[in-house]
Structure 1
Amino acid sequence: MTENFSSTQTIHKTVIATKGGVVAAQHRRAAEVGAAVLDAGGDAVDAAIATSFAIGVVEPWMSGPAAGGAMVLWRANEGRARVVNFGCRSPRELNPANYPLSGTGKSSDLFPWPSVVDDRNVMGATAVAVPGVVAGMDLAHQHFGRMPWKDLVMPAAGLAEEGLLVDWYTTLVTAANARVLSKDPDTAAMFLEQGHWPIAGEWTSLNERHLDQKAFAQTLRQIAEGGSKAFYQGDIAAKLVNDIRAKGGCLSMQDLADYRAELVEPLTINYRGGRVFATPGLTGGPTFGKALELLASELNPVKGTPGASTYTAFARALDAAFKLRFENMGDHESPKAPGSTTHFSVVDRHGNMCAVTQTLLSIFGSRVVSPSTGLLLNNGIMWFDPEPGKPNSLAPNKRCLANYNPVIGEDASGRRFAIGASGGRKILGAVMQLSSFIMDHGLSLEEAFHTPRIDVSGVGKVTADQALPADVLAALEKIFPVTATRRNVYPYAFACPAGVMRDGELNMGCTEIMSPYGDAITGG
């Protein structure tokens, strides 16, 4: 196949070391909000909370208050890592019998589950799970925040009042999903023109069009004033439940009132004289830990640029780890389908760190907007296998099995990093490889993010960056079928990471080099 790409173009993101803090996020404006919090004397957790709410405005198809996720954090004064788990749950009134198998093949979205009648587990209000982002940020703030909650949420409300600028990338994302977005009138009203075409400006002129996010702005102002109670028990909760039930979902006020985020101990993985702290339980963390364990026996690393032996070790370790995940946890996601996830990492001047991943699951989640709140809703029910009797079968009031994998690590020399990614099941391999580039090969953060990666998502084949040397590609082809491709802006052939590092007293950050919005911003 002939590719229509420039063969002379190079892309590079510069990493600048600073004694101040750094926020690295998939959208520059959200990172700027977090960096402003650091400038105001906020902690890394304060900056993470502000970034969390802001990024839900500027990447509404990826996350938001109606999403779920997890935060791994490092407290420098304690020398200790913790995890805030705010994953989604299925509603108490959910009845698996309302999700009958169609008998017509596999689902067309992220997971190749048996297809459900009318895609009720994938799209629409019947796919909405209990969200956790607001509770997660509130719990982190209670334990570690320094600045007033209101000051951390109101900047996002200001962004929403202004409305997301409809630029070329916004148009690209909405155009690629316009058909499914048109099925819900409120979603179509927010993202489409005349219910069918993406809102867009003239391609030869400066574009000043913005999405109407005023209802979202009001919701954020209420969260800023009333905290998580406003979301889970107050006016927002009532509006959210009424909107979802009017569209056929079963989320209840009790579901929201009973939801709790969890502050738990991390999964600690000893590796190459250092440590990596990951999320435990129904996340990508345990599989990531297994992959590192396998990599330790597969790879005899040499400092410097990784070679063929490194990439073949990556492939074997990831393939084996995913096979174990499939057998024990029931996650069978399609590696080709795009997920709707965002990741950001923060380090402050004192060395406190946060790695935060939050997700609506599919891109645009359930493709349903709650008109009273302006929130785009998750489709967390799709995380469950609709076929009964499996490790991850659909059931009421059950924690969703997710694949997000934020980590904080430290290598043998004492360099500490916070890394995670978006990209569905591609996340795990990206985080493992970046960790290995740093811990095994001694690469800098800038070098690690610019080094080519592979993707092995448990399907017995490798997707490899075509920028890899010929001998690496040849070595991979000896053990797995290989498809070579380039890193693109859309869709992403590989995961989209963001990370920060602390080396001595210097901090730095970087994001996926192909991300047009992603950036690392200094502050404080």
Structure 2
Amino acid sequence: MTSALSRTQRISKTVIETEGGVVAAQNSLAARAGAEVLAAGGDAVDAAVATSFVLGVVEPWMSGPAGGGAMMLWRAGEEEAIALNHGMRAPAALDPADYPLSGEGVSGDLFPWERVVDDRNVQGATAVAVPGVVDGLGQAHARWGRMPWAELVAPAIAQAKQGMLVDWFAGLCIASVTRELAKDPDAAALFLQDGQWPTIGAWTALAETRLDQSRMADSLEQIARDGARALYDGDLGAAMAADIQAKGGSLSHDDLRSYAAEFHPALSFAYRDATIHAVPGLTAGPTLQHALGVAAETPLGDAADGTAFAAYARGLASAYADRLANMGDDGESPKAPGSTTHFSVVDRKGNMVAQTQTLLSIFGSRVVSPSTGFLMNNGIMWFDPVPGRPNSLGPGKRCLMNVCPTIGQTGDGTRFAVGASGGRKIVSAVAQLSALMADFGLDIGAAFHHPRIDVSGGAVVVADETLPEGVMAALRAEHDVRTARRSVFPYSFACPAGVMRRAGRNSGCTEIMSPWGDAISEDEVRA
């Protein structure tokens, strides 16, 4: 079927090189907040804290204080890569018997698990897992932060007091989940108007529609004043847990008090003459290692041609076959949007952060904690509801994540930090971006503008229709290939953000089709 999308429109993003620090994020306001921290003399970790909290306000359906994720760090002084896992886990009181199979086929959300009665693992308070992102940020800041914690949370507080502007893109995101949001009175009150998506105005309307995020602002003020553990040990955590239990979930204050993010040595491995650092364990890091390991078996020429893309597709297909068989992440719907965001930071000293954070589904559990104003995750959906499998539901278990924040160094000393949102599409994007920079010396802008493929474990390879015919022919020789456009909505490919440091100069870029994404330098906000 032929699309009505323009065949002549060309979209690109400007990439600026600077000796100053750069933040690349899926929302320009968040990237700016991080860049302002760098301009004030903050470390890359300081900028990451500010960026993360602002993202939770201005892109609330993607991530927030009630979500989780993972961070990769590069410390230039120590020449060391460190992983920080702040993923979600199941509440201790979760009972798998409360999630009986319905016998009605598969779920219609991200993962085609067997459907649970009332979709209790997907929607509502019963889908809420223990969040981790705030503790992770707190631990990173305690170890490397240079600026006061309260100053770093302050930009998010200011944004929440103002309320997120509902522009056409925000309206589109809210409209896509209106039916589900309407089921929770507190979510409906925050995101909807009279049970419908908010008015975004006509073609030339100047009036603004903003969300009322004042309760969220109050909660962020408590976190700014009392520290990251306020969400876990204090009254704020108690109130959030009480809200979820009142709505039928099992999250308890004890779950929050016992939560702790974990530092790990990076999963470091060679890819040709490059070195890649990823997060180990229940993430997509091992899948990335597998994919690039297989791709490296094929000798390449000087250009990203059919031989190169066939190697990338071969590696990704092999990696996903292994992941689905042994890690328990048993499939995902290509039609359902995920609720994940990524940002990358490099400061003027060369310290780097790659952070991916998520609520899992778009708008998470579609439940808002009224006491805190936070939209809650639906991390329980990461578990297979069928008993006896590697990733089956269980109390206190860590969630298996698709996140893949990555830091790499090419043979010529160029270093990059990348990651993406997009569920199972994430690894395809991160693997190809890493390979394009490592194999062919592409700078961050050229790599991000280059058309990609997606190989996510299914029978079909999805290829950007702008790839040359020689690449298409090489892919069709080994795979069933479907072509797709790179568009604003929906995303046929992942939505990445990354930064690069080459010869002492920094740059950054985001997915070119992302209407909100930007890479902003400290020079720009200082000017």
Q: TM-score, normalised by structure 1?
A: 0.98
Shift of 1:335: 3.1
Distance 2:147 2:336 in 1: 39
Counterparts of 1:349 and 1:109, CA distance in 2: 42
Equivalent runs, 1:153-232 vs 2, <5 Å: 153-232=153-232
What does 1:126-137 correspond to in 2, within 5 Å? 126-137=126-137
SS of structure 1 residue aligned to 2:33: helix
Within 2, Cα distance between the matches of 1:273 and 1:523?
32
Structure 1 partner of 2:365 = 366
For residue 484 of structure 2, what is the amino acid of its counterpart? T
CA drift at 1:301? 2.0
Partner residue in 2 for 1:84: 84
Partners of 2:335 and 2:305 in 1: how far apart? 26
Tell me, in whole angstroms, the C-alpha distance in 1 between the residues paired with 2:288 and 2:335: 20
Quote the residue 2:353 is aligned against. Answer: 354
Deviates more, 1:387-396 or 1:475-484: 475-484
Which secondary structure does the structure 1 equivalent of 2:296 belong to?
Answer: helix
Does the aligned pair in 2 maintain the 1:166–1:201 contact within 8 Å? Answer: no
Task: Output one character per residue of 1:371-424: Cα deviation in whole Å (capped at 9) or x when no partner.
Answer: 111100000000000000000000000100001000000000000000000000
**Residues 198 and 209 of structure 2 are in contact (CA less than 8 Å); yes or no, is this contact kept in structure 1?**
no
- Cα distance in structure 2, aligned partners of 1:354 and 1:444: 18
* Contact preservation (8 Å) 1:114, 1:386: yes
Say whether the 8 Å CA contact 1:70–1:84 is kept in structure 2. Answer: yes
Q: Which is further off, 453-462 or 465-474?
A: 465-474
How far residue 200 of structure 1 moved from its aligned partner, in angstroms, is: 2.5
Structure 1 position 269, deviation (Å): 1.1
Alignment check: 8 A CA contact 1:192 1:199 kept: no
2: distance between equivalents of 1:104 and 1:36? 51
Letter of the 2:458 counterpart: V
Q: Distance in 2 between matches of 1:254 and 1:312?
A: 50
Task: Give me the whole-angstrom Cα distance separating, in 2, the residues matched to 1:40 and 1:403.
Answer: 34
**Displacement of 1:496 after TM fit?**
0.2
Give the letter aligned to residue 274 of structure 2: G
CA contact (8 A) 1:167 1:207 kept: no
In terms of mean alpha carbon deviation, does 197-206 or 87-96 score higher?
A: 197-206
Query: What amino acid sits opposite 2:209 in the alignment?
Result: R
Q: Distance in 2 between matches of 1:190 and 1:156?
A: 17
1:300-311 equivalence runs, <5 A: 300-304=299-303, 306-311=304-309
Secondary structure at the counterpart of residue 440 of structure 1: helix
In structure 2, the residue corresponding to 1:428 is in which secondary structure? Answer: helix
Identify the match of residue 326 of structure 1 among 318, 324, 327.
324
Would the aligned equivalents of 1:272 and 1:411 in 2 still touch at CA under 8 Å?
no
Q: Distance in 2 between matches of 1:96 and 1:516?
A: 41
Asked if the contact 1:191–1:199 (Cα under 8 Å) also holds between the matched residues in 2, the reply is no
Q: CA deviation at 1:235?
A: 1.7
Which residue number in structure 1 is paired with residue 442 of structure 2?
Answer: 443
TM-aligned CA deviation for residue 337 of structure 1: 2.0
CA apart distance, 1:185: 1.0
For residues 6-64 of structure 1, give each alpha carbon's deviation from its aligned partner in whole angstroms, at most 9, with x where no partner exists. Answer: 11110011111000000000000000000000011000000001100011001000000
Kindly indicate whether the alpha-carbon contact (under 8 Å) linking 2:28 and 2:516 is maintained by their aligned counterparts in 1.
Answer: yes
1:315 to 313, 316, 327: 313
CA distance in 2, matches of 1:2, 1:427: 27
- Displacement after TM superposition at 1:74 (Å): 0.3
Distance 1:4 1:100 in 2: 43
Once the 2 structures are TM-superposed, how far is the Cα of residue 84 of structure 1 from its aligned partner?
1.0
1:93 aligns with 2:96: no
Shift of 1:442: 1.2
User: Structure 2: which amino acid aligns with 1:512?
Assistant: E
Counterpart-to-counterpart distance in 2, 1:77 and 1:18 = 20
Where structure 2 has 5 or more consecutive residues not aligned to the other structure, the ranges are: none
Give the whole-Å Cα distance in 2 for the aligned partners of 1:319 and 1:496.
20
Offset from partner CA, 1:46-99 (integer Å, 9 cap, x none):
000110001100100000000000110000000001011100000000000000
For 2:321 and 2:420, how far apart are their aligned partners in 1?
Answer: 21
Q: Secondary structure at the match of 1:151?
A: helix
Paired with 1:493 and 1:502, the residues of 2 have a C-alpha distance of 29
Matched pairs, number? 522
8 Å Cα contact 2:266-2:279 kept in structure 1: yes
What is the identity, as a one-letter code, of the residue corresponding to 1:167? D
- Contact 2:200 2:208 (8 Å CA) reproduced: no
Q: What is the aligned partner in structure 1 of residue 48 from structure 2?
A: 48
* Alpha-carbon separation, structure 2, partners of 1:208 and 1:336: 31
User: In 2, distance between residues paired with 1:340 and 1:197?
Assistant: 18
TM-score by length of 2: 0.98
Q: Which residue number corresponds to residue 296 of structure 2?
A: 296
Q: Which residue is equivalent to 1:144?
A: 144
Give the secondary-structure state (helix, strand or coil) at the position aligned to 2:354: strand
SS of corresponding position for 1:418: strand
User: 3-state SS of the aligned residue for 2:227?
Assistant: helix
Aligned partner letter, 2:167: D
Alpha-carbon offset, residue 314 of structure 1:
1.2
Residue 472 of structure 2 is aligned to residue 473 of structure 1:
yes
Cα contact 1:339–1:362 (8 A) shared by 2? yes
Distance in 1, matches of 2:62 and 2:269, equals 29
Q: CA shift at 1:207, angstroms?
A: 3.7
Tell me how far apart the structure 2 counterparts of residues 377 and 208 of structure 1 sit (CA, whole Å). 26
Looking at structure 2, the residues matched to 350 and 148 of structure 1 have their Cα atoms a distance apart, in angstroms, of 20
Determine if the alignment matches structure 1 residue 519 to structure 2 residue 521: no
Q: Structure 1: which 5+ residue stretches go unaligned? A: none
The runs of 4+ residues in structure 1 deviating greater than 4 Å are none
Check 1:475–1:273 CA distance in 2 against 1; reply closer, same or farther (3 A cut).
Answer: closer
Contact kept? 1:346, 1:355, Cα under 8 Å: yes
Question: Can you list the C-alpha shifts for 1:97-123, whole angstroms capped at 9, x where unaligned?
Answer: 000000110011011110000000000
- Kept in 2: contact 1:178–1:198 (CA 8 A): no
Identity of aligned residues (%): 60
